[in-house]
Amino acid sequence: MSYTRGPIYTWTDSEERLHVWVAGEPDGYAESSWGYGYAEQGQPVNGVTLPPDLLDELVAMRWAEMTDEEHEAASQRAIEKWHGNGGCAALACRSGRASSSSTSASARSSSAR
């Protein structure tokens, strides 16, 4: 995968890691309490700032490159790894699967009535 448009360059390397390079001003993530905590542990901190429309476009292009089997596998991994996240609940709902967080939220809602 490789996409280049203006100041944005995304690509995958031989280890299939996604690289997102964005020209512009840094957003201070390295100096944040989150970044500082990792730096104290000797771990490098990296990050970029992407406009939401750009992220949507990159995701749409990557999704178009994937097979149905890859869509299913990626969706399942996301639901298993990211439960409790709003995007995960939306993915579980859209794919006809209830994530554990949406199931328990539904149960809490029913019991509150």
Q: Which domain does 108 fall in, by range?
A: 68-113
**Within this chain, do residues 99 and 44 fall inside the same structural domain, yes or no?**
no
Tens digits of residue pLDDT in 33-92:
888 888 888 887 777 777 778 888 989 999 999 999 999 999 999 999 888 888 888 999
**Within this chain, do residues 61 and 72 fall inside the same structural domain, yes or no?**
no
pLDDT of residue 110: 40
Tens digits of residue pLDDT in 1-40:
677 777 778 888 887 787 888 777 677 777 788 888 888 8
**Within this chain, do residues 29 and 72 fall inside the same structural domain, yes or no?**
no
**Within this chain, do residues 11 and 43 fall inside the same structural domain, yes or no?**
yes
Q: How many domains does the chain have?
A: 2
**Within this chain, do residues 75 and 111 fall inside the same structural domain, yes or no?**
yes
pLDDT of residue 65: 94
pLDDT of residue 14: 83
**Within this chain, do residues 97 and 113 fall inside the same structural domain, yes or no?**
yes
Give the DSSP per-residue string, the chain.
-EEEETTEEEEE-TT--EEEEE-S---SGGGSHHHHHHHHTT---------HHHHHHHHHHHHHHS-HHHHHHHHHHHHHHSTTSHHHHHHHHHTT---HHHHHHHHHHHHH-
Span 101-112, average pLDDT? 43
